[in-house]
Chain A
């Protein structure tokens, strides 16, 4: 049986087999076992079979064979024959495929291409009635010819234009259209279409605007945007289209659909950018006339922007390669009506359309230096007079805003002194106005009433831009501006509004990039001079000054000077009496500035160490021992800030230096004669106890490899020290000091404790837990110690399971249950001292692990727990969840949600707050999970907003935020039954004594109100 026959039999059942048959024949031909003639003859009678499918398969077979042949095998004649053969039978399925293969061959020539093309036109008049798959194949053949044999088709000239447009007309399928658009675009761009512009235009424009919505899971992945941009390329392809394109596009601007309008505007932009200058020029004014409405009567901000882009595109096109400001150029003609219109709008500067007018001018101004020149010449003089004559501030501000917009385009055209723009021949048309601009903006900023904030803000913006504009102001003028900015920052400001100050600081920062010297010479002294030498009693102006200085110290040497000056100033201040706020602020500033830089590489590091760590610390110690005057440094809050500063510096020290620090952790760089460390002493005075805050900070900065030692009583053993710290912690009642001691405990158990020492400490923990569970009276301190020891160990995942096990058991104990429950909130809570950057050992999986161990146990115990201790489990849970990432909580959410709901019934505001926080996250991350519980959730949250009751303002506020999350996230059908309950339940909160609670309540109600009832009418 011949290959053909077998092919016919197998092709249905087994494609591969069929393939191989074709291949076999191909090999036959190549190895000359049989000739092409034989191969074709072998098709025999099938070729004329009445059954179309048989014919199709035979042709298909042939095409397969051709496809299998090596590209160079067939001779021109053979191709010629086959091409003829297939063209005759082009309507039989497979022929098109065959031709696609043929035309890919090197020896396929112009005439064959033409023949194929003609055959297509002749046989596929009825293209649209054929199935899409076939249409696509035909179009792809055409596309192939277009790309490989373009000249052939091009030579057919009009015949091909008409032919193609007829062939593709009426197509609807997006896949086909993608091909058609690209074919047509080639014709539009490369053929001479002068005689057929309208035909071609209509052929594509009939699809405008594209309203195609791809099916949900569209396998071809063709988006509306793909079609839109290809269609747009066609419409913009040739200037010949202008007479049809622009009028019709302008019509379509009246569409009510924002999407259509957007498409139209972008198409206009595309046309304006690609059509020839003369063409665009012919329509430029008409386009302006209709585009202006989109901007002036802005409905959708986005559309206004698009329209501005279109207007700009026209200006760019008309201005391309143009460097003459001659008023007779197309560009000038285009701009004239625009500047006229804008000038009119600017007569009423505080009316709605003035702002858009400014945007138009700015957008055009940026188009090119020439447009900028023309715009400025046409607008700025009038603007100046208007400004001079303007009587009220609102008007002046509006005008100034327009000026600012123009200055923006100036910067776009000429750049700043740091980022220059491409050079241009056209001189900056603003030059003649330089002095007046500088003067009027300076005056507006400095000489108008202090409470005219918004006006002065605009003025400041104008002044800054003048400074930034390249090759505009002289340095001395910029210097003046800098002075103005300084004064603005430092001036008293009655209107409790700091917008202006903030803007001024920002301006100075911007200038410090391009003119650091000016900042150093002018701003810096001015600011320093403003800092008082002694704590002022009430006013807190120094804060603004300090903030300013801190922000300005980006430049390294600026910062260096600042740090030095501040330290000196601190010494002076400490010599005086007065509130501690000021020295604290100075320390905070230092912390900020030092925090900004990489201390490891800082050459001054050692001096910081000397002055701050050693200097101030020892000073505190001495004072506490009565060896020096007590200052605000000895107050706990100050100590904490100083401590943070110390930690930061110590961290940066090299190992060697750190060792010396480690030795001084408790002696604080003072010899025993003058200060005795407080450890292993009974009832050291309060003042000295508070130095432990610094000890903690130093210890925190020391890296783990440097073991901490103690000057006194040479006891190296950590356990001993730990025991001592535990003793101190349990009897300490000054919160900050106690916290410092507890953190030391944490640092020891987590950071400095060696693996082999842990067992001993765990044993110690056992005793502590035991003591706690038996403790009578207030167990808080005992609990604190237990949980800090535990925290240190758990974070490094040392014997976590058994430790947690013990802690969980505490929940069942009446006396210490609640205290312990609260402790769970501590375990994985972030801590500024026990942190990674301080070298604490915090394993990645800690949170996950704590969660996995505790939550199931809590959920379980809770059921059996007696009423007295039930709440302990809920408290513990909320504490754990408080610091759990959502991805850890989510998988377990179904199990814990019921508990969370119940914990909302507790009195404890903290627990409620934490729980609500969790619920909020849950409902945000994964609303599905709460869907089943909406009912009880709603009712409980409504309880949490009641006032006056146990709910803190914070709880009320967060409960409302949580409630507000549901609409939009949870299905309406689930929520609607509760709509009324919620909106009514919130009635009273609308009268809450706290403003921000009321605000939240209003928003929450609005969210629920806006859920639509299924409207029956």
Chain B
């Protein structure tokens, strides 16, 4: 734990005005532009400026019930596309041409005068609670409805490439849609292995690997094998509904300095991390946040076997660690920032920020973390079997997915712990109570700082965006 003096503060930067008159569910930061999209139970999406912290326009019509979720399509120039998911069981795709007077993305990043473009986007949307007026309709076009889900849509997510859209619903299914042409989407997969509402979907930052979290307490991983989408991993461990999953950036970051004499440990860690790629984090009604790591397969073996072995896409994922327990009510959201920090929030209105640090010797870490890590190690070892034998590997998947067979555990423990020492630990570096007064906080996200009064290195400063039952969206800066 960092000493009290160096403890970072989460300080209130702005509350976006005007706010939704009723519960706001989620706020999605635009991938490039300084924009935020907030979806609300008043059946609208509000577009706010991250520069002026004011409402630019309101997307209305199209959905008959609460809009629960929305996501910006990445990798677009000159146009913004937003996908919305609603309790009315439909998914909407909205298009909006960024105005010509738009600065080039470069300028955008360098944070030059945005107001002109803001205006362009806003186009009269400034009006109180942004009642839809005609010209605004011109601005935001309800391009197409994706029907298919039988009940409330709870989450939507675009793949890193932007060509795939994943949606999930209370109907227990996860759908993958592919854009095959202008406003033309085609269902490429309907996956129904979950046994309860699917609460959240999230794409791997690099691969076309999809993670989904569910009311059935499981996290599932999906990818396309040959030309068929299927479940390639079940992450078991949570004791209740998993509300949200979030991916680590491709480049990992561990804070603090490595103690002299433990460098090799860092080496091993980095190596292992390279092997497994981005990790996954999940938060749950069981008040825990868990980190999951992939057990890589021996490349050779895989490449050889993959031709003949069906289901070679099966992956071994293990619970690596649980984050320090902060929350006392369901944890609704967790997010992993570019810089490697993690923020979480939930029904207790607490916003907590965590860092992964190099572990000091002499185990000054909280025993809780240690236990968690050992636990993780324990599991990872079990999957060790898989690389030695295909058949075991198959089983490894399931065991990796939680049902640890203990006897295996005992045998291998020794070797494994040597291979991967307790290199890192997670610590809470900042904590904020009552972020939205007495109201629950439904969502939290990271966004780069874009307002003028921001510090010198704007785009490196990361802001925290919280969305609450009071309908407000609040922007917080983390003063480290």
Seen from chain A, the residues whose Cβ lies within 8 Å of a Cβ on chain B are 980-981, 984, 1016-1017
Contacts and interface: CB of A to CB of B under 8 A. Distances in A.
10 contacts: A980-B21, A980-B22, A980-B42, A981-B21, A984-B21, A984-B22, A1016-B64, A1017-B64, A1017-B65, A1017-B88
B263 to A, nearest CB: 56
Contacts of A984: 21-22
Contacts of A980: 21-22, 42
Contacts of A1016: 64
A981 B64 CA distance: 21
Contacts of B22: 980, 984
Interface in B39-68: 42, 64-65
Contacts of B65: 1017
Contacts, number: 10
Contacts of B42: 980
A340 to B, nearest CB: 51
Contacts of A981: 21
A981 B88 CA distance: 24
Given A981-B21, A984-B22, A1016-B64, 7 more contacts: A980-B21, A980-B22, A980-B42, A984-B21, A1017-B64, A1017-B65, A1017-B88
Interface in B57-99: 64-65, 88
Interface of B: 21-22, 42, 64-65, 88
A981 B129 CA distance: 12
A984 B129 CA distance: 15
A980 B471 CA distance: 12
A77 to B, nearest CB: 83
9 closest cross-chain pairs (CB), A and B: A980-B21, A1016-B64, A1017-B64, A980-B22, A984-B21, A1017-B88, A984-B22, A981-B21, A1017-B65
Contacts of A1017: 64-65, 88
A1017 B64 CA distance: 7
Nearest to B65: A1017
Nearest to B22: A980
B59 to A, nearest CB: 16
A730 to B, nearest CB: 54
Nearest to B20: A980
A605 B22 CA distance: 71
A828 B278 CA distance: 82
A1017 B87 CA distance: 12
A595 to B, nearest CB: 54
A975 to B, nearest CB: 15
A1016 B65 CA distance: 9
Contacts of B21: 980-981, 984
A87 B64 CA distance: 69
Nearest to A979: B21
B439 to A, nearest CB: 10
A980 B21 CA distance: 7
A122 to B, nearest CB: 64
Nearest to A984: B21
A1017 B86 CA distance: 13
Nearest to B89: A1017
A1016 B86 CA distance: 14
B43 to A, nearest CB: 9
A981 B21 CA distance: 8
Contacts of B88: 1017
A617 B378 CA distance: 99
Nearest to A983: B22
A367 to B, nearest CB: 56
A984 B22 CA distance: 8
B438 to A, nearest CB: 9
A917 to B, nearest CB: 30
Nearest to A987: B470
A785 B173 CA distance: 82
A981 B128 CA distance: 13
A267 B88 CA distance: 48
A479 B60 CA distance: 79
A1016 B66 CA distance: 13
A984 B88 CA distance: 24
A61 to B, nearest CB: 69
Nearest to A1017: B64
A363 B22 CA distance: 54
A1017 B21 CA distance: 22
A984 B471 CA distance: 11
A830 B21 CA distance: 46
A1017 B42 CA distance: 15
B147 to A, nearest CB: 13
B42 to A, nearest CB: 8
Nearest to A981: B21
Nearest to B42: A980
A1017 B63 CA distance: 10
A881 to B, nearest CB: 34
A36 B152 CA distance: 88
A980 B64 CA distance: 17
Contacts of B64: 1016-1017
B436 to A, nearest CB: 13
Nearest to A1016: B64
A983 to B, nearest CB: 9
A981 B18 CA distance: 14
A303 B42 CA distance: 42
A431 to B, nearest CB: 68
Nearest to A980: B21
A984 B20 CA distance: 11
B314 to A, nearest CB: 42
A578 B65 CA distance: 70
B393 to A, nearest CB: 49
B150 to A, nearest CB: 14
B89 to A, nearest CB: 10
A26 B463 CA distance: 107
A987 to B, nearest CB: 9
Nearest to A1015: B64
A295 to B, nearest CB: 41
Nearest to B21: A980
A984 B19 CA distance: 13
A1016 B64 CA distance: 6
A988 to B, nearest CB: 10
A980 B128 CA distance: 14
B132 to A, nearest CB: 15
B425 to A, nearest CB: 42
A981 B22 CA distance: 10
B359 to A, nearest CB: 46
B41 to A, nearest CB: 10
B259 to A, nearest CB: 52
A1014 to B, nearest CB: 11
A384 B65 CA distance: 61
A984 B64 CA distance: 22
B100 to A, nearest CB: 36
B354 to A, nearest CB: 33
A28 B8 CA distance: 121
